[in-house]
Structure 1
Amino acid sequence: MADGTNAMLVGARRSTPATGPASWRADGSWLLAAVAAAFTVAQLILVGPGLGLGWDETVYVSQISAQAPPAFFSAPRARGVSLLVAPVTSWSTSTELLRVYLAVLSGLGLHLALRVWRCFFPPGVLAAAGALFASLWVTLFYGPAAMPNLWVAFGALACVGCFLRARADRGDRAALWGVAAGAALMAWMRPTDAVWTALPLLLVLIATRDGRPALPLLGGLATGGGQWIIEAYLSHGGLGQRLSEASRIQGGLGWHMAVDDQLRSLVGRTLCRPCTGATPDPVIMAWWFALPVLAAAGLAVAVGARRTTPTLLPLACAATAAAPYLFMIEYAAPRFLLPVYLLLAIPVADALYHLVTTPDGRLRATAAGVLAVGLAGHLAVQYVVLDRAVDRTAADRRDWTRTAADLHRLGVRPPCLLTGTEAIPVAYYTGCASANPRGHNVSTTEEGIARTAGRVPTAALSPPGGPPPPYARGWRTHPSAGLDLHLAPSPAGDGTR
């Protein structure tokens, strides 16, 4: 490659011992392992394994779970998370065990994704990139979560790094497998995100007519995307219908300026829909505005060092991955941009490394001191936002636990059916099936609910003080934690209520 990437890759290989503990120490792998281990430990301490499952998590987990019947699986969702958690959820209902499993797995995922890049950047830069990404409140919050976006991020970083390695060294067969694995991980988690993220890679292949990495990349995308497309025809009336339904659920994809929505979500809002309220304090937003500036500085460093491609390509993938979430939907969730943040992390860390060191590797004491103060302030802000997000989220999920206990006390026990407001997560906590005749999760009709109520315990949930759904008029009402529970008459032969 013209910018020296090939020579850098070969030189890095020649200078690194082949195997053994000495190699692990010499090539800086211990730094990456330390960052990954710290990431796992921080999740378990700052988020905690006791945090209950959220709404989306209950949908993914319930697909392969001993806790409750599968919840309705709407058009935008993909099966990757359900498969990821299946080794635990298929036999255990312990949320604590699931959180620990995901925390350890996400630490391993970060480590492997960073290792791919050892041929292009010094270990210190990669370790700093991992630490910067892992210290964000949104990364820590979703590390032990049964959600797809962090895994798209790991797949994206590994895929881009292996793509660069495969193009720089035609003898690197492991890199081709890495391209396929990274693309497959993205596609199984979120097929549309995988396509947006891989778009620059596909353009490079077209422009250079290099077919060697094409098969692994397209094959990896096809594994997850193919399953999603097949399911579209089996359960959603075809691919066009599924895409249309997914767009409707997300508010109608098109030109929507969501940058301000993303800014409002930085205060710890896991979902900003509708995204109203004041813009956060500048201290909370500072890191977000610093990212593109530092990424551009990282690109300038790479150009000056004649190694442009390993910096430019992840920046291009970050830009295409961000585009739909900044300009095509009318709401925000901070997790949507996790792949963007990880792809930007290495160029940002490279810029900071060159800011605090001289060309001969000596430390610039003043610059290092200023950076240390800035990073300390950044970490403090991230901790405060994370702490508030965890407290707020835990309170909501404790309410679902109390509602489930109330339903059990009132005789609504498996097999049972819940419908109405927040029926999906509460049903999971209760061990019931869930169904709704309207909204984004339509899976039955009012007549279907009435028939089911004649067979199993059934309850409709509504906001406190509001009217019950039309099909639940005449059902007995009981207040619970932030909800009213409308209980259907006991099925024939059931004297529990």
Structure 2
Amino acid sequence: MARTLNAPLAGAERSRALPTVRIGPDATDRRWPAVVAVAFTLAQLVLVRPTMGLGWDESVYVSQVSGHAPAAFFSAPRARGVSLLVAPIASWSSSTSLLRICLALLSGLGLYLALRAWRGLFPARVLGAAGALFSTLWVTLFYGPQAMPNYWVAIGALAGVGCFLRARADHRDRAALWGLGASAALMAWMRPTDAVWISLPLFAVLACSRGWRRPALPLACAAGLASGAAEWIVEAHLGFGGLGARLADASGIQGGLGWNIAVLDQLRSLSGRSLCRPCTGSVPAAWMVAWWFVLPLLAAAGLAVAVRAGRTTRTLLPLACATTAGIPYLFMIGYAAPRFLLPFYALLAVPAAYALTHLVTASVRKRRPVAATLVTLGLAGHLAVQYAVLDQAVDRTVAGHRDWARTAAELRRLGVRPPCLITGHRATPIAFYAGCRSAQTHGHNANTTAEDIARTAERQPVAALTTPKEQPPRFARDWEQHRGGRLRLYVAPAPGEAARN
């Protein structure tokens, strides 16, 4: 049986009648999100190339559960969500292509479920347009099939806000309550601090509207956050000296969180750079960054339309959550990476899509073809820009990963084979490629000492990596020097050889 969602929400929606929105077995409610999710999955497989090797952060996450290489050092800001996500594949297979294909399929499924969480709140065409806007961004396509947490935080945020609105409007909607808890857990599972920032407006709405009188809603959100972050908190007490110490360490690794306007840094990263640290250079050409300004403007226009249509809360809340999701990465951090703002983009996509569909469908009949043409031309330009940047980002990334693979192959040729240890420049990803353990004596990933590395070299193969301009560490100055890609490789004498000499 179909049921209706006609309970008042809040604010302006209380002062005017809400249109009755049917929630039932309407095929169009499923069709648009499904089409978008399938297209998103196929685009990842075609444009991002499953053969693209693992990146630096990916190698850290995958190594925690991989049978291919020892676990890399796991620093304070990281959470175990990605490692658990990839465990069903990475625990028995070293195939990056298989892992990428599975992640592409999972990311498509995640997008579909997140859009379905909004059913009954907006027409199906709006949800389809929201999914299309978000999934065609180059940064979404680029990180969808990667073993990274930010896309999954975005999916959790999008699904969580939709489930929150449905559960708040209809206290009998148990599926929405469970969806809210699962979405909050997913966010906290991937990045606990991001989950807290994104959830702040949800708790604010409950506090301001006396939502605490119905404890199921705040309990579902709080329980989801707590269950997702539980492992991270326990690990903080076991390995970092407590939650406060871990947060302080995480802040230090990120350059010290505090008031720091990083808007220009984010703009500079939009040329396809995966990490902008230090973020220097000029802002990319206007055609590359125009969408970054248009998306929030469209979302604001969607809010204006929603106020007149009696859908204020369901449009304002994703805008508020997008704002809190973006605050730490736009105003509190000293560097930038495009993936940091994926939750921001996902949440803005709903009100932005509402504005676009309203522009086309609400125009006077004679003007609808003109409005549709303008929107179509704008979206075509949007796709062209996103594809151009994505293509550059993929080419640059593939080239860098191949260079790491060549260096790892050269190390194996020189006798650095498991069990082995690699230290120095780019040691973390290259060690994973070579099947070795990585270690550092300084920096954010410091987890050993020079003396420990020297002792390890007496038992197993060890190599130190430097750039051509760097001097080798003191313990490696007498080691044999080789070239490996763009790096210098200092390989320790084979275990026992020094003693024989």
Q: CA deviation at 1:473?
A: 1.4
CA distance in 2, matches of 1:257, 1:387: 29
CA RMSD of aligned residues (A): 1.8
Q: Which amino acid aligns with 1:283?
A: W
- Counterparts of residues 97-496 of structure 1 (less than 5 Å): 97-210=98-211, 211-358=215-362, 364-492=368-496
Q: Which amino acid aligns with 1:468?
A: P
CA distance in 1, matches of 2:65, 2:244: 27
SS in 1 for 2:216: coil
Q: CA deviation at 1:102?
A: 0.2
Q: Is the contact between residue 8 and residue 119 of structure 1 (CA under 8 Å) also seen in structure 2? A: no
Q: Is the contact between residue 116 and residue 158 of structure 1 (CA under 8 Å) also seen in structure 2? A: yes
CA distance in 2, matches of 1:7, 1:325: 38
Q: CA deviation at 1:4?
A: 4.3
Q: Which amino acid aligns with 1:12?
A: R
Deviates more, 1:465-474 or 1:133-142: 465-474
Q: Is the contact between residue 465 and residue 484 of structure 1 (CA under 8 Å) also seen in structure 2? A: no
TM-score by structure 2 length? 0.94
Partner of 1:95: 96
TM-score by structure 1 length? 0.95
Deviates more, 1:54-63 or 1:466-475: 466-475
Q: Which amino acid aligns with 1:295?
A: A
CA distance in 2, matches of 1:249, 1:292: 30
Partner of 2:85: 84
Q: Deviations over 1:154-211 (max 9, x none)?
A: 0001111111111100101111101100000000000000000000001112222322
Q: CA deviation at 1:466?
A: 2.4
CA distance in 1, matches of 2:261, 2:474: 37
Q: Which amino acid aligns with 2:100?
A: R
CA distance in 2, matches of 1:66, 1:226: 26
Q: Is the contact between residue 9 and residue 120 of structure 1 (CA under 8 Å) also seen in structure 2? A: no
Q: CA deviation at 1:436?
A: 0.6
Partner of 1:63: 64
Q: CA deviation at 1:9?
A: 8.4
Partner of 1:20: none
SS in 1 for 2:66: coil
* 2:13 corresponds to 1:12: no
Q: Deviations over 1:104-136 (max 9, x none)?
A: 000000000000111111111110110111111
CA distance in 2, matches of 1:244, 1:57: 23
SS in 1 for 2:117: helix
SS in 2 for 1:217: helix
Q: Is the contact between residue 420 and residue 460 of structure 1 (CA under 8 Å) also seen in structure 2? A: yes
CA distance in 2, matches of 1:9, 1:197: 28
Q: Is the contact between residue 254 and residue 328 of structure 1 (CA under 8 Å) also seen in structure 2? A: yes
CA distance in 2, matches of 1:253, 1:83: 28
Q: Is the contact between residue 9 and residue 165 of structure 1 (CA under 8 Å) also seen in structure 2? A: no
SS in 2 for 1:429: helix
Q: Is the contact between residue 465 and residue 490 of structure 2 (CA under 8 Å) also seen in structure 1? A: yes
CA distance in 1, matches of 2:202, 2:294: 26
Q: Which amino acid aligns with 1:343?
A: L
SS in 1 for 2:448: coil
CA distance in 2, matches of 1:181, 1:437: 40
Q: Is the contact between residue 125 and residue 353 of structure 1 (CA under 8 Å) also seen in structure 2? A: yes
Q: CA deviation at 1:360?
A: 8.4
Q: Is the contact between residue 62 and residue 71 of structure 1 (CA under 8 Å) also seen in structure 2? A: yes
> CA 1:380/1:189 → structure 2, altered by over 3 Å: closer, same or farther?
same
CA distance in 1, matches of 2:282, 2:30: 44
Q: Deviations over 1:286-332 (max 9, x none)?
A: 10011121111000010000110100000000000000000000100
> CA 1:454/1:127 → structure 2, altered by over 3 Å: closer, same or farther?
same
SS in 1 for 2:118: helix
Q: Which amino acid aligns with 1:424?
A: T
Q: Is the contact between residue 261 and residue 333 of structure 2 (CA under 8 Å) also seen in structure 1? A: yes
SS in 1 for 2:241: coil
> CA 1:197/1:398 → structure 2, altered by over 3 Å: closer, same or farther?
same
> CA 1:69/1:7 → structure 2, altered by over 3 Å: closer, same or farther?
farther
> CA 1:132/1:417 → structure 2, altered by over 3 Å: closer, same or farther?
same
Q: CA deviation at 1:41?
A: 0.3
SS in 2 for 1:331: coil
Q: Which amino acid aligns with 1:178?
A: G
Q: Is the contact between residue 357 and residue 363 of structure 1 (CA under 8 Å) also seen in structure 2? A: no
Q: CA deviation at 1:264?
A: 0.4
CA distance in 2, matches of 1:144, 1:104: 8
Partner of 2:45: 44
Q: Is the contact between residue 22 and residue 120 of structure 2 (CA under 8 Å) also seen in structure 1? A: yes
SS in 2 for 1:364: helix
Q: Deviations over 1:45-76 (max 9, x none)?
A: 00110000000000000000011000000000
> CA 1:182/1:487 → structure 2, altered by over 3 Å: closer, same or farther?
same
> CA 1:359/1:165 → structure 2, altered by over 3 Å: closer, same or farther?
farther
CA distance in 2, matches of 1:142, 1:195: 22
Structure 1 unaligned blocks of 5 or more: 18-22
Q: Is the contact between residue 457 and residue 488 of structure 1 (CA under 8 Å) also seen in structure 2? A: yes
Which segments of structure 1 move beyond 3 Å, counting only runs of 4 or more? 2-11, 359-363
SS in 1 for 2:334: coil
Q: Is the contact between residue 21 and residue 121 of structure 2 (CA under 8 Å) also seen in structure 1? A: no
CA distance in 2, matches of 1:464, 1:494: 26
Deviates more, 1:117-126 or 1:351-360: 351-360
Q: Which amino acid aligns with 1:256?
A: N
> CA 1:62/1:8 → structure 2, altered by over 3 Å: closer, same or farther?
farther
Q: Is the contact between residue 64 and residue 70 of structure 1 (CA under 8 Å) also seen in structure 2? A: yes
- Count of residue correspondences: 487
Q: CA deviation at 1:359?
A: 6.5
Q: Deviations over 1:234-277 (max 9, x none)?
A: 11111111111111110110011100000000000000001111
